[in-house]
Amino acid sequence: MSEMKPAVLSCIFCVLACGFLTGGIISLELASEERREHRAVDYVQAVHDWTGRQHRQDFEGLGKISVTARHDGKDFSTSLESNKTRDPLKDSGYGEVLPSYEALKYARRGVSSDYLPVIGYDDLVKVIVGSRFEWWGLTMAFEFNLGGSRIAPPAVPLVMAVAHHEPNGLYNHCHNTRGRYNNSNGRCWVYSRLERLCVQVQRVAYGGGWQLAPRVPGQNKSYGCDYKASKWPAGVYSKVTAEDIENRAEHFDHLVLEVRSSDDPFFKALELTGGTLDFGIMASEEQTLGIVLIFMGCVFSCPCTCAAIRTWRKNRAERASRYRPHRYHVRRGPRAETLGMKSSVDGAGMDDEEDRYWERTAETSHTSESRGDARRRTPSNDSAARAVGTEGAPDSAGAARAMEALDGAVRESGSVAPAGGETTA
């Protein structure tokens, strides 16, 4: 158990190191793209166009805007008032401050009780919307009067329902979506009502009138104010609880009506940020974050690197002890140049003693010593080395001392050298 704890800690450090290193590399890559800087440039240009090209002045010149709804053979109209409240962004705490501007929109929060009829969820009609089915209630057409220009977008449903499949049992999340589950077909029904109706308009290039302004080319219904994955629907719906949906009657006193200019920088901010209104952090801050994360990754990688090195050295030592090669000694005979001399007898005796010494050393120790160091530990070898020259024969100056040393070595080894040069123990 004690051996497992260091291994687990090493794995944890390795995972943390990989996470920090990966995050640091990603941060450096994002810093090189300079996303915030490019978004800020486009947003600043939109603000300049809104204030410098008279887009706001033209939109403010509309004065009074009215919205008319027709039902039961009657027209019910309500007026919209100018509103200069600016929609806040979500990145005020990130480095460079984006420019501000004076916003303008026409809005009405809440309508009279007779402006729209009271309806329920009993008679819903199946409608194909794109690639899915929806069930709509009563549809209502609204007409916007902007300074003499009458704009009539397509009718929108006041109530609607959307069904999707949910598995029965533990994985049924229909209740979390405030829906109603049908056990017969396994569908979850989610009901909603119209909460807000907002359209974008732009000035006609020729004639001076106003018209709807789709933001996505090729999608004629993308003139709304809600980003919603770049679909820009005009109607915004809120979910209702489906517990007592049969007897429920919806009143639309809460309805919000809005008309906004397509040149408003707020919509440009939605496009640049993908609906989040967060421009991100600056490239310098992103780069600093990446360097810090890479440094943290290197610090956390030190323990697991040391553990890997220790494991490698331990495995290497175990393999070396398991497959250690045997030491073979070659018995040397008498040299040809000293054959028949007394020194050759001593040399043969020294070879036998040296072999026995190496065998004892190999049995008692795993460490290998050089042959020269072992020879220096042998007394007979030391005396023979001092007495014998480089060619193995005694020199003329120390002949007497050499003969005495060789005789002593022969007596110590217990061997006798006959005249024929053979050694007998």
For residues 211 and 201, the answer to whether their CB atoms sit within 8 Å is yes
Out of 239, 263, 281, pick the residue that ends a domain: 281
For 233-258, how does the pLDDT look when each residue is reduced to its tens digit (9 = 90+)? 999 999 988 777 877 888 999 999 99
Residues 237, 132, single domain; the answer is: yes
Locate tokens 């014998």: which residue? 388
Compare 345 and 352 and report the one with higher pLDDT.
352
> Are 127 and 262 found together in one domain?
yes
Looking at every residue in the chain, the average pLDDT score rounds to 79
Do 123 and 196 share a domain, yes or no?
Answer: yes
Token couple for 86: 């600016």
- Both 355 and 261 in a single domain? no
Residue 321 within any structural domain of the chain: no
Per-residue pLDDT band for 291 (boundaries 50, 70, 90) equals: very high
Q: Exposed, middle or buried, 300 (CB in 10 Å: 0-12/13-18/19+)?
A: buried
194-218 per-position pLDDT tens digit: 999 999 999 987 767 899 999 999 8
Look up the domain containing 384 and give its range. Answer: 342-413
* Last residue of one domain, picked from the residues 258, 281, 304: 281
Name the E strands within 94-204: 105-109, 119-120, 125-129, 132-136, 139-140, 142-146, 149-151, 156-157, 159-165, 180-182, 187-203
Residue 95 lies in a domain: yes
| pLDDT one-digit tens code per residue, 79-131 | 999 999 888 888 755 556 788 899 999 999 999 989 999 998 888 899 988 77
Q: What is the tally of structural domains in the chain?
A: 2
Q: Model's pTM, two decimal places?
A: 0.66
Among the residue ranges 17-26, 338-347, 349-358, the one predicted with the least confidence is: 338-347
In a domain, residue 106? The reply is yes
Which of these three, 281, 302, 323, is where a domain ends? 281
Residue 309 confidence class, pLDDT cut points 50, 70, 90: confident
